[in-house]
Amino acid sequence: MSDAARDLQAQAAKLDGEDELSAKRAEFALDDTVYLDGNSLGALPAHVPERVADVITRQWGSLRIRSWDESGWWTAPERIGDRIAPLVGAAPGQIVVGDSTSVNVFKALVAAVRIARGTGEGHPEGGRDEIVVDATTFPTDGYIAQSAARLTGCRLVPVAPADVPGVLGERTAAVLLNHADYRTGRLHDLPGLTAAVHAAGALAVWDLCHTAGALPVGLDEHGVDLAVGCTYKYLNGGPGAPAYLYVRRELQDRFDSPLPGWNSHAEPFGMRPEFEAADGALRGRVGTPDILSMLALEAALDVWDGVTVDAVRAKSLALTDFFLRCVEAYVPEGLVEPVTPRAHAERGSQVALRCEGAGDVMKRLIEQGVVGDYRAPDVLRFGFTPLYVSFADAERAARVLARTLG
């Protein structure tokens, strides 16, 4: 073993020893794999199987239809929304869980355009006809934004996040941004961009898929208007677990959903032909909630008991710093190029490395028990979930990477 390796392994051991979150790892079903793909699919919290078995066998199997009331199925979307709220800096009553991220982006954008057009004397219906969208975003956001624009008579304006302030104006209705770039891991300036959007009289819609559960978001503090996110990455809700929608309290009575299903009715069991929207965040609900997945997510959220997002963020930055240091020490210069920013303020919870033949390299890493993922055309992506990734994992990942490239 080289001196560098001996030194870094000692440092990893020391950092793990001082890690206040280290005990959390035992709450997950993990083997000796170095799992750095929690930014794609979070690991299984160990108590989830038993909880889901109870939902299926007792709640569905024995209580059957009674569980809509007796097992709290009916209120799950808002109850679980309130569990997610503190993780994204939201007071209760502003988040509902349900549907996919894509569907929630659609609700949020159409509703945002409607609010922007209806607000204030100076902005008559039709006065604002542009939706600005992050051109570097995960593609689904752009596709859905295009559809929302088409259906509301808007023009889509795709720009890089840094260029957003330059395109804002009195025609801007809504701006859809990703909090972190899914490919590079770059963290965007949510407070600053939100303020710029507001200064132009438009609404800011944020996609939190790559940040919720990994770093503080501060939705209420920064006056974000609407937000969406998935729950299967850093929130460990399970494959395709339902997404969520945040609607800032002050906007809820103007939230006019394009998907006004019976679950968002003021009186869902009144079975009335006329639609009358429920009060509050419930307006974001649509159809019958998907109970098995929703209650698996609810169980998964128990791992957050006693954890602060600030502690998670501190460990995330320490982990990604340390990983970058190990990569520098182990991997010969020129073989990989970090595309994730060094500056903490600009870094999410992943490290992306540009690398020749990245697809093949990732396959070989996975064969050796280091699981990240590959994003076309040339990016190795390593996600760091502070609840279960250790500094020793980071060191091993860099070491295996160096051996694979060497």
Nearest one of 211, 190, 227, 209 to 104, comparing CA atoms: 227
Which DSSP string corresponds to 240-306? T---EEEE-GGGGGG---S---GGGBSSGGG--SS--BPSGGGGG--SS--HHHHHHHHHHGGGGTT
Rounded-to-integer distance, Cα 292 and Cα 300, Å = 12
* Residue 125 binds a second copy, judged by CB under 8 A: no
- Do the annotations mark residue 210 as ligand-binding? yes
Nearest one of 359, 391, 389 to 35, comparing CA atoms: 389
247 φ/ψ angles, rounded to the nearest 5 degrees: -125, 115
Nearest one of 224, 275, 225 to 255, comparing CA atoms: 225
- Selecting among 232, 322, 374, 382, the annotated active-site residue is 232
CB of 311: closest distance to a second copy in angstroms?
24
- Do the annotations mark residue 232 as ligand-binding? yes
CB of 386: closest distance to a second copy in angstroms?
18
- Do the annotations mark residue 194 as ligand-binding? no
- Do the annotations mark residue 139 as ligand-binding? yes
* Residue 139 binds a second copy, judged by CB under 8 A: yes
Rounded-to-integer distance, Cα 260 and Cα 342, Å = 44
Rounded-to-integer distance, Cα 375 and Cα 303, Å = 29
- The yes-or-no answer on residue 138 being catalytic is yes
Within residues 185-214, the interface with a second copy by CB under 8 A covers none
CB of 191: closest distance to a second copy in angstroms?
27
Nearer to a second copy, 9 or 71 (CB): 71
* Residue 265 binds a second copy, judged by CB under 8 A: yes
Binding-residue total with a second copy (CB under 8 A)? 81
* Residue 183 binds a second copy, judged by CB under 8 A: yes
- Do the annotations mark residue 262 as ligand-binding? yes
Rounded-to-integer distance, Cα 302 and Cα 299, Å = 6
CB of 244: closest distance to a second copy in angstroms?
13
Contacts (Cβ under 8 Å, ≥6 apart) of 199: 168
Within residues 273-302, the interface with a second copy by CB under 8 A covers 273, 275, 286-294, 296
Within residues 50-79, the interface with a second copy by CB under 8 A covers 52-53, 56-57, 59-62, 64-68, 73
Out of 34, 80, 96, 110, the only residue in the binding site for a second copy (CB under 8 A) is 110
Nearest one of 400, 127, 99 to 259, comparing CA atoms: 99
Rounded-to-integer distance, Cα 303 and Cα 388, Å = 11
- The yes-or-no answer on residue 207 being catalytic is yes
CB crowding 53-81: b at 16 or more within 10 Å, else e: eebeeebbeeeeeebbeebebbebbbebb
- Do the annotations mark residue 92 as ligand-binding? no
CB 344 within 8 A of CB 37: no
- Selecting among 381, 388, 391, 399, the annotated active-site residue is 381
CB of 300: closest distance to a second copy in angstroms?
11
Within residues 84-103, the interface with a second copy by CB under 8 A covers 99-103
Within residues 233-252, the interface with a second copy by CB under 8 A covers 238-243
* Residue 158 binds a second copy, judged by CB under 8 A: yes
Nearest one of 99, 55, 78, 41 to 232, comparing CA atoms: 41
Question: C-alpha dihedral over 353, 139, 304, 64, to 10 degrees?
Answer: -140
- Do the annotations mark residue 68 as ligand-binding? no
* Residue 166 binds a second copy, judged by CB under 8 A: no
Residues β-bridged to residue 337: 354
* Residue 49 binds a second copy, judged by CB under 8 A: yes
- The yes-or-no answer on residue 233 being catalytic is yes
Rounded-to-integer distance, Cα 225 and Cα 205, Å = 6
Kindly calculate the radius of gyration of the chain based on its CA atoms and give it in whole angstroms: 22
Nearer to a second copy, 233 or 399 (CB): 233
Within residues 338-397, the interface with a second copy by CB under 8 A covers 366, 371, 373, 375-376
Out of 262, 280, 314, 346, the only residue in the binding site for a second copy (CB under 8 A) is 262
CB of 164: closest distance to a second copy in angstroms?
16
- Do the annotations mark residue 102 as ligand-binding? yes
CB of 105: closest distance to a second copy in angstroms?
9
Q: Which residues are tagged catalytic?
A: 138, 207, 232-233, 381
Binding residues are 101-102, 138-141, 207, 210, 232, 262, 288
Binding residues for pyridoxal 5'-phosphate are 101-102, 138-141, 207, 210, 232, 262, 288
